Amino acid sequence: MVEIGQAQQVLSAPTDTYTRSLVAALPASALSPRSAHTASAEPDTHRLRKASAAHVGRLRVRGLSHRAGDRVILDAIDLSLCAGDCCVIVGESGVGKSTLARLLTGYEACQCGDVHWQVGTDTAPLRSGLVSQHPHRALARHFTVEQALSEPLQLRYRRRGPWQAEVHALLAQVGLPQTRAFRERKTALLSGGEAQRLVIARTLASAPNLLVADEPTAALDRLAANRVTAVLAQLCRAQGIALLVVTHDPSLAARLGDRTLMLKDGRLQAQRAGA
């Protein structure tokens, strides 16, 4: 606990340095006295730009269905997502959003349907990566930051390092320090926001054309969440990576999504075009 007081007083005139940084990271709608309903009805105007013409390809999902026993979780899902675009999937807990994320990234096998990457009329390999809401679970606690990034690089290029130049580049892409002290830090000692950005960097080491983020900011404070959101937006915009985000956070959906789809009764519904 760093500051105590009436909510409006703390939000309008915070005295602690850390509190001020958190308040500064809040979207303007969160500080407005308007009702939550009114605020959520006016999405943030900061949208991702479309990818440049140099970025090609798209995710194509056709007839994707999945069951758990007799329960239908996903029912003939169709989805198309171009390189450099972001699609946000929202929905109640337990409707199958995380199942969809795992199916698209290969963590669960598809029972029925087709998932591939399409370039023109040709099919290309789908290279996908998953960013979950629990970053420390995705990192080996005994690894240093450099080891965490060197491992996927070695798997990608099928040779041993050194990987200093590549590690520096990956850290720079997600806004993490490139100093020797940071590279030698154990992943268990990273903050939640640092760990999540390291997970993103580790995913980038495999050169994905699709990045799936499952509640990527759910376990983070507002300041760390905004940094992670900025990293995801930049990767999508600058590198042309197709980005699929699963979230309960309407402000995250408003800031990231070119379009938002609701998963309900096993189907994607309520498509909303981005601004």
Count of structural domains, the chain: 1
CA angle 200, 201, 207 (to 5 degrees): 95
208 occurs within a structural domain: yes
Identify the pLDDT of residue 139.
95
* Domain-embedded: residue 193: yes
Which residues, including other chains, have CB under 8 Å from residue 221's CB and lie 6 or more apart? 22, 192, 193
**Contact 252/88 with Cβ under 8 angstroms?**
yes
Q: Is residue 112 part of a domain?
A: no
pLDDT score, position 271: 52
Which residues constitute the domain of residue 187?
84-104+127-257
In a domain, 8, yes or no: no
Which residues, 6+ apart, have CB-to-CB distance to 191 below 8 Å?
Answer: 224
Alpha helix locations (H) across 32-107? 36-40, 97-104
Rounded to whole angstroms, the Cα distance separating 23 from 161 reads: 43
Nearest Cα neighbor of 221 from 198, 240, 194 is 194
Residue 36 in any domain: the answer is no
- CATH code assigned at 159: 3.40.50.300
Classify residue 52: in a domain, yes or no: no
> Looking at the domain assignment, is residue 79 inside a domain?
no
pLDDT confidence of residue 10: 47
Residue-level pLDDT at 21: 58
Is 60 contained in some domain? no
Q: What DSSP designation does 93 have?
A: T
Q: Are 77 and 64 in contact (CB under 8 A)?
A: yes
User: Which portions of the chain are predicted below pLDDT 50?
Assistant: 1-3, 6-8, 10, 18, 26-55, 274-275
